[in-house]
Structure 1
Amino acid sequence: MAFTGRDKKWLKGPRAVALLAAGAAVVLGLATGGTVTQAAPAKPKPTHMQVQLLALNDFHGNLAPNPATSSSGNVNGTPAGGAEFLATKLEQLRAAAKAQGQETATVAAGDLIGASPLLSAAFHDEPTIEAMNEMGLDATSVGNHEFDEGYKELLRMQKGGCLDDGDGQNNQNSCPDPKSRFKGADFDYLSANVFYENTEKTLLAPYTVKKFKDGQKVAFIGMTLENTPNIVTKSGVEGLAFKDEVDTANALVPKLRKEGIEAIVVLLHEGGLPADPRAFNSCPGISGPITDIAKNLDPAIDTIISGHTHQAYNCSINDPAGKPRLVTSASSFGKIVTEVRLSIDLATKDVDRLNTLANNHIVTRDVPKDRQLTELITKYQKLVAPIESKVIGHITTPTVVRTADDAGESPLGNLIADAQLADTSTVTNGKTPVVAFMNPGGIRSDLVATGGAVTFGSAFTVQPFNNYLVSMDMTGTQIKALLEQQFSGVNQAANKVLQVAGITYTYNPAAAPGSKVVAGSIKIAGQPLVDGTTYRIVTNNFLSDGGDGFPAFTTATDKFFGGLDIDAFASYLSAHDPYTPGPTDRISITS
């Protein structure tokens, strides 16, 4: 495969890039800021052996393909992802390496489960663990979402066993097939920096060592996001201590070398943000935590497989000794697989970075589906049907519509915002949200009832993203800026009116961007907004990260992650059964 003009454009940038494609390669071994040059097809030196690493991250239980029209179902317009196609892609890449006499290890950088679609979430993500077993995963680091149901549940994911959860009564059903128990992960969950509080005992194994032919060994250190306690439910990690990623990994290097291991790979659930997210085989202007971590990890660590930010990149970032080191990430939802070819010196047993290459492959859907994964998905699609069809409440109208009025407010938007505001999972340290914000684009369909009954599946169709609710502190000034961002910046051409609860205001569509909200019209709980007062608000994690052109959310403080938005929605409908849509009177317009 030759590089296209677009590929060559991506190679221009402040950082060196490593690419490997059939018949073409890029040399990795230039200091940050150097020029990347194209080389002849990579061939292992007679004194070296090559080991193929296949890596993914942030799968989040996306077993079935996501719609190709959604951002979660394509890469730069190419339909991508789905466990059946991912499994096929992995097998194709392994076969190509085997034909060249190379062995393979398949690894991941966390968040394989959690924030999952109903097909996996309804069964406590047991289907995803089973899918990863089928795909031949060898090891993964633990991500923050692996703690969504608590660390004891994470241990069950590793060891197996069933939960007594009421046989689907709460829209979840562990071990739904009475003929078989959940066996747990065949692969190793790794987390070197998560300890039982006040002990030196790690929750899970800190690393694993894979042996290859000629006696070569590669160590994989698993690293969890240090900030996990601040972004997951407190009860899920109570009793655990999360330590610094760099300090922990560096402390393990002497131990591994004492065991005669020189080839070391870190599987890190933390990542970066390239300036151009479309440049998935490059990393122009990358920023974020990964840059500082990469610059401080011990030079003896040869490669960093990262995740968490749901970005795809392929970088060379200098280590503390000023030598370039490979840093990769494979987007999310199984849309991309990273292929790394480690070149290991047979004499020193260490990785030769100058001959180590990587390539991010799109998991396209133009290949045959893996038969075993199809059988697994079909099995759980049948098993999820009773949960999907479970009645969770009633509405007094045939539908609750997402169609907005002239001000941009919709009955369904109000319902969802009310549900978020009522959800107790985001209450922390006695701080209860008083305002809720919901992005209209996250409401994917009207809420439809059958004979007045609303099913869990119907509710899930409205909110299928499994976003987490996030509470945070915002000042009155920040909330004003947020409301103006509905009509300015990237939202100036096509306004995005947030659906709200607990707040009312008036805006003038004819006013200039930045001054559309009528001064003095904003009220919270019926009282005028005060610029210097801090208010507790709740929204979803997508908006919390500044999604949909709302950077004001990123300036908020004391963020706390609660439960899933779909759970809040379903609980609210059950608690307000039957539900009657109210008037759209929270947002008004003037001229």
Structure 2
Amino acid sequence: MHLRHRHRLAASGLVLAAAGALALAPPAAQAAPDEHGGQPGHGHGRTVDLQVLALNDLHGALEPPTGSNGELLHEHEDGSTEVIEAGGVEYLAGALAEAREGERRSVTVAAGDLVGATPLLSGLFHDEPTIEALNELGMDVAGVGNHEFDEGYAELVRLQEGGCHPEDGCYVEGREFAGADFPYLAANVVDEDTGRPILAPYTVQNLRGVKVGFIGVTLEGTADIVTQEGIEGLEFLDEVETINHYTEVLERRGVNAVIALVHEGGYPASEAYNHDCDAAGGGLSGPIVEIAERTHAGVDALITGHTHEPYVCTVPDPDGNDRLVTSAASNGRLFTELSMSYDRRAQDIVRTSVTGSNVVVDRDREPATELTELLDFWRELAAPVANAPIGWISGDIPGRDAGTHEFPAGDLIADAQLAHARALDESADLALMNAGGVRADLTYAASGDEGDGVVTYGEGFTVQPFSNTVNLLDYTGEQLLAVLTEQVTGENEATPKILQPSDGFSYTLDLTATGADRIVADSVTVNGEPLDLSATYRVAVNSFLAGGGDGFPTLGEGANPVVGNDDMAVLADYLTANSSADAPLDPPTADRITVIE
């Protein structure tokens, strides 16, 4: 089974001559169009079927993800639920190929974060394995997400265009990375000086004479959640204004069928991937709702991401007409299958025909041979590093999916960073770790040939994949209190981002209060002493937070910086120094923050 499907007669939005030379059929007598410009009915061959298969937030999860990262909640008709395991790019490729069978017009797309925050198998090689896997499984179009900028704009361009890594070079002599076969779209990411998009803003896919335009945008707040060095000189524009502009550009070029790939998301009422979002008690909340309500009525569907949630929901467009908004969770556990009719006279999608559902990437099927061979190639290169033991644990150490504001893996990383900071400067007082930077659990159960409780470098890298440095800075007590309030105010007020504290730093978080009052100021202690607002404290944070990331501008104001080691190396050193086969490390109890709810 060869998985690549070559129907990519796409015209890039930047190639204006190609985009402007669409061969349009002359107008013919038409029945009255529906409210979206589509034509009713399927008679006389006027309509043809289209299939759109969509992914989001793959994050380089090439191998079957473990723990909660590889689980889905399935809802039965009687209301009961069960947890099922899913994911793995070998199974994803097979599932997509199966979905395409019998479809004459099918296109596979993605809404960002395909790379970045990736497990070691991809991250060790700057995500070249993920791009090659996406080429093999037949990706046609992808919008950028915030994680596409983890290694900076120049590296994103390399992933698109190919070439060996500027520092690490080619990983095998004579084998040069070819880049993505599909276009990355970045309509709302522009050069500050020229105002021009850094990559194509849209593409037009020609599916056997049917032309469908795709516009790709990332969330406007991307600059707040990526390392600043890599996006210097870039500006991230409003998502809706950008989509609306390019929808009109496409319409002027005769392309009426438009789908937006939006790396921003929402939160469904149920965690079950198959929950009926439009039933009583269903519904969708979060930033994507307002975006969908304001996005041009000429857009026929919004494929979204970022929040890692599964949903297929109806949100009215600005004209009050229903429109699908979808997301396929994360890590390749699901893909969304959208079916629709295209009216050839109106040259548009019949909006009322659009249906969608999220499809589980189960592991009961045979893995796709081509993907298995590709993964085996990269596994062989990665094995010497990936399989090296770095520590031992006595039980599972849950990450951010633990369902609590403070969680054991976050505390473990903060403790490791404080230990490293004290090796640099013995006066270091505390460490703070952003919850979003903890990408997975550390699991006790054996994986591969390792024994129970063994932590390999590959497992540690899955938890800490960003290659941030651990930085040491001075903050006043007043600034530290401001940092704590930034967890629950400003852009973090609606969805608090609780920093994970090192041992010896504690306070009370009162979620029954509002705004800054949710931080009980007189409860904050540092190594057993009350926080002194006029004192100076030496604090360890990763380089992302040190740049003010995740909505913590005060952390960007630290003084007397010292740059330490890579955060993954810091975690590995801590585990090696504080555990052994005979004395494994116990999971932290995650009781440093007292939470009132």
* TM-score where L is the length of structure 2: 0.69
Does 2:242 match 1:245?
no
User: Separation in 2 of the partners of 1:403 and 1:350?
Assistant: 52
Q: 1:183-332 counterparts in 2 under 5 A?
A: 183-213=178-208, 215-280=209-274, 282-283=276-277, 284-332=282-330
Q: 1:417 to 1:555 in 2, by over 3 A?
A: same
Does 2:502 match 1:501?
yes
Q: How far apart are 1:301 and its partner, in Å?
A: 1.0
User: Separation in 1 of the partners of 2:538 and 2:484?
Assistant: 12
User: Separation in 1 of the partners of 2:69 and 2:396?
Assistant: 22
Q: How far apart are 1:315 and its partner, in Å?
A: 1.2
User: Separation in 1 of the partners of 2:63 and 2:193?
Assistant: 42
Q: 1:52 to 1:537 in 2, by over 3 A?
A: farther
For 2:362, the equivalent position in structure 1 comes to: 364
Identify which of 145, 151, 164 aligns with 1:143. 145
Tell me if structure 1 keeps the 8 A contact 2:392–2:455. Answer: no
User: Separation in 2 of the partners of 1:441 and 1:244?
Assistant: 28
Q: How far apart are 1:89 and its partner, in Å?
A: 0.6
User: Separation in 2 of the partners of 1:86 and 1:209?
Assistant: 25
Q: How far apart are 1:353 and its partner, in Å?
A: 0.8
Does 2:389 match 1:388?
no
Does 2:158 match 1:156?
yes
Tell me if structure 2 keeps the 8 A contact 1:224–1:245. Answer: yes
Q: 1:42-57 counterparts in 2 under 5 A?
A: 46-57=45-56
Q: How far apart are 1:501 and its partner, in Å?
A: 1.9
Q: Which runs of 5+ in 2 are unaligned?
A: 1-33, 75-82, 398-405, 422-427, 447-453, 489-497, 514-518, 544-549, 557-563, 580-584
Q: State the secondary structure of the residue aligned to 1:328.
A: strand
Q: State the secondary structure of the residue aligned to 2:59.
A: coil
C-alpha deviations, 1:482-532, integer Å up to 9, x for none? Answer: 9xxxxxxxxxxxxxx99742634599xxxxx99xx9997752256413699
User: Separation in 1 of the partners of 2:358 and 2:146?
Assistant: 24
Identify which of 390, 415, 419 aligns with 1:418. 415
Q: 1:543-558 counterparts in 2 under 5 A?
A: none
User: Separation in 2 of the partners of 1:114 and 1:443?
Assistant: 17
> What is the aligned-residue RMSD (CA, Å)?
4.7
Tell me if structure 2 keeps the 8 A contact 1:410–1:499. Answer: yes
Q: 1:254 to 1:145 in 2, by over 3 A?
A: same
For 1:436, the equivalent position in structure 2 comes to: 432
User: Separation in 2 of the partners of 1:374 and 1:266?
Assistant: 32
Does 2:51 match 1:61?
no
User: Separation in 2 of the partners of 1:579 and 1:410?
Assistant: 22
User: Separation in 1 of the partners of 2:331 and 2:407?
Assistant: 31
Q: 1:61-140 counterparts in 2 under 5 A?
A: 61-67=60-66, 69-76=67-74, 77-97=83-103, 102-140=104-142
User: Separation in 2 of the partners of 1:311 and 1:403?
Assistant: 24
Q: 1:445 to 1:47 in 2, by over 3 A?
A: closer
User: Separation in 2 of the partners of 1:477 and 1:234?
Assistant: 19
Tell me if structure 2 keeps the 8 A contact 1:463–1:566. Answer: no
Q: State the secondary structure of the residue aligned to 2:268.
A: coil
Q: 1:314 to 1:570 in 2, by over 3 A?
A: same
C-alpha deviations, 1:135-175, integer Å up to 9, x for none? Answer: 11000000100000001000000000001434xxxxxxx53
User: Separation in 1 of the partners of 2:551 and 2:106?
Assistant: 43
Tell me if structure 2 keeps the 8 A contact 1:476–1:530. Answer: no
User: Separation in 1 of the partners of 2:520 and 2:243?
Assistant: 53
Q: 1:260 to 1:447 in 2, by over 3 A?
A: closer
User: Separation in 1 of the partners of 2:247 and 2:439?
Assistant: 47
Q: 1:498 to 1:298 in 2, by over 3 A?
A: closer
Q: State the secondary structure of the residue aligned to 2:327.
A: strand
Q: 1:247 to 1:436 in 2, by over 3 A?
A: same
Identity level (%): 39
Q: How far apart are 1:212 and its partner, in Å?
A: 2.2
For 1:182, the equivalent position in structure 2 comes to: 177
Number of residue-to-residue matches in the alignment? 479
Q: 1:537 to 1:363 in 2, by over 3 A?
A: farther
Does 2:524 match 1:529?
no
Q: State the secondary structure of the residue aligned to 2:462.
A: coil
Q: 1:470-481 counterparts in 2 under 5 A?
A: 475=481
Q: 1:403 to 1:137 in 2, by over 3 A?
A: closer
Q: How far apart are 1:197 and its partner, in Å?
A: 1.2
C-alpha deviations, 1:315-344, integer Å up to 9, x for none? Answer: 111111111111111111111111111211
* TM-score where L is the length of structure 1: 0.69
User: Separation in 2 of the partners of 1:136 and 1:47?
Assistant: 28
User: Separation in 2 of the partners of 1:588 and 1:143?
Assistant: 33
Q: 1:275 to 1:528 in 2, by over 3 A?
A: same
Tell me if structure 1 keeps the 8 A contact 2:116–2:148. Answer: yes
Q: How far apart are 1:345 and its partner, in Å?
A: 1.1
Q: How far apart are 1:277 and its partner, in Å?
A: 1.8
Tell me if structure 2 keeps the 8 A contact 1:82–1:334. Answer: yes
Q: 1:573 to 1:331 in 2, by over 3 A?
A: closer
Q: Which runs of 5+ in 1 are unaligned?
A: 1-28, 32-41, 167-173, 393-397, 425-431, 449-455, 483-496, 508-512, 542-553
Q: How far apart are 1:446 and its partner, in Å?
A: 7.3
Q: State the secondary structure of the residue aligned to 1:70.
A: helix
User: Separation in 2 of the partners of 1:268 and 1:535?
Assistant: 41
Q: State the secondary structure of the residue aligned to 1:361.
A: strand
C-alpha deviations, 1:61-112, integer Å up to 9, x for none? Answer: 0001023x53434443122110011001111110042xxxx31111000100
C-alpha deviations, 1:455-477, integer Å up to 9, x for none? Answer: x9724435633466899987489
Q: How far apart are 1:253 and its partner, in Å?
A: 2.2
Tell me if structure 2 keeps the 8 A contact 1:56–1:107. Answer: yes
Q: 1:253 to 1:571 in 2, by over 3 A?
A: same
Q: 1:63 to 1:30 in 2, by over 3 A?
A: farther
Q: State the secondary structure of the residue aligned to 1:182.
A: coil
Tell me if structure 1 keeps the 8 A contact 2:389–2:457. Answer: no
For 1:252, the aligned partner's letter is Y
User: Separation in 2 of the partners of 1:331 and 1:286?
Assistant: 14
C-alpha deviations, 1:350-402, integer Å up to 9, x for none? Answer: 1111112112111111111100001011111111012225698xxxxx85766
Q: How far apart are 1:437 and its partner, in Å?
A: 5.6
For 2:200, the aligned partner's letter is A
User: Separation in 2 of the partners of 1:233 and 1:423?
Assistant: 21
User: Separation in 2 of the partners of 1:505 and 1:216?
Assistant: 60
